């Protein structure tokens, strides 16, 4: 029987017979998936100015990374690697959307990224730099957040980006 699970990070709903290991949309660990009946989204009632600024920085970071992965998926010659970059682009776009929803704002559009490579390994090197940067920011934002939900949220996405870092490390080794 299908059960509806909803993600506390991105708000998307997954229909399945059991909980997946990670959210199929944003990549959050399954501990953030709840049955819809008991759903409690990670969304503070009010957000401090400091946190608002950090969320805006995070949105820009995510959109920029999403655009990089879109570029990488289009340019990378190797079809298997291109497919992986396409998935990463969607995950980062999902993060940007989830962050924008915290502030109830529209994501702003930024220009398309054009500097990526046709070579998968070069793109994984760039991916590695970007994920490392993102993790550093999110860990800092989590510590700075006075809102409990936001602290959990930033730690959840830092963990997802760590999984992406592991992926690039395995490709680069
Ligand atoms: Fe999610
Ligand atoms: Fe992300």
Reported as a single tens digit per residue, the pLDDT across 42-90 is 999 999 999 999 999 999 999 999 999 999 999 999 999 999 999 999 9
Q: What pLDDT is attached to residue 13?
A: 98
Rg of the chain's alpha carbons, rounded to an integer? 16
Q: How many A from CA of 16 to the centre of ligand 2?
A: 24
Instruction: Quick: pLDDT tens for 150-168.
Output: 999 999 999 999 999 999 9
Phi then psi for residue 73, to 5 deg, are: -70, -35
**Beta bridge pairs of residue 7:** 33
CB-proximal residues (5 Å) to ion ligand 1? 7, 9-10, 23, 25-26, 28
Q: What pLDDT is attached to residue 111?
A: 86
Q: Across the beta sheet with 33-35, what order do the strands follow?
A: 13-16, 3-7, 33-35
Virtual torsion, Cα 12, 155, 58, 137, nearest 10 deg: -160
Residue 170 makes CB contacts below 8 A (sequence gap 6+) with none
CA-to-CA separations, 109 to 43, 88, 96, in angstroms, rounded: 23, 18, 11
Name which of 20, 19, 167, 22 is nearest 9 in CA terms.
22
Q: How many A from CA of 106 to the centre of ligand 1?
A: 19
Instruction: Quick: pLDDT tens for 121-136.
Output: 999 999 999 999 999 9
Q: How many A from CA of 134 to the centre of ligand 2?
A: 7
Q: How many A from CA of 131 to the centre of ligand 2?
A: 8
Phi then psi for residue 101, to 5 deg, are: -65, -25
Q: CA–CA separation, 51 vs 157, rounded Å? A: 15
Ligand showing the shortest atom-to-Cα distance for residue 23? 1
The domain ranges of the chain are: 3-38, 49-172
In this predicted structure, the answer to whether residue 140 has a pLDDT above a threshold of 90 is: yes
CATH code reported for the domain at 3-38: 2.20.28.10
Which CATH class name applies to 49-172?
mainly alpha
Q: How many A from CA of 1 to the centre of ligand 2?
A: 32
Q: How many A from CA of 66 to the centre of ligand 1?
A: 16
Residue 98 makes CB contacts below 8 A (sequence gap 6+) with 9, 10, 11, 26
Phi then psi for residue 90, to 5 deg, are: -70, -40
Q: What pLDDT is attached to residue 109?
A: 80
């Amino acid at each position: 029987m299908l059960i509806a699970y909803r993600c506390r990070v991105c708000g998307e709903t997954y229909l399945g017979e059991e909980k997946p290991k990670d959210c199929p949309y944003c990549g959050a660990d399954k501990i953030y998936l709840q049955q819809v009946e008991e759903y409690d989204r990670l969304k503070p009632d009010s957000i401090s100015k400091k946190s608002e600024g950090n969320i805006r920085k995070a949105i820009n970071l995510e959109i920029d990374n999403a655009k990089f992965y879109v570029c990488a998926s289009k340019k990378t010659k190797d079809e298997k690697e291109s497919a992986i970059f396409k998935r990463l682009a969607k995950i980062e776009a999902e993060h940007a959307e989830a962050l924008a929803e915290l502030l109830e704002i529209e994501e702003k559009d930024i220009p398309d990224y054009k500097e990526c490579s046709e070579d998968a390994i070069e793109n994984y090197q760039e991916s590695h730099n970007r994920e490392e940067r993102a993790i550093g920011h999110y860990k800092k934002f989590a510590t700075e957040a006075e809102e409990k939900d936001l602290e959990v949220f930033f730690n959840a996405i830092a963990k997802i980006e760590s999984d992406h870092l592991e992926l690039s490390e395995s490709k680069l080794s």
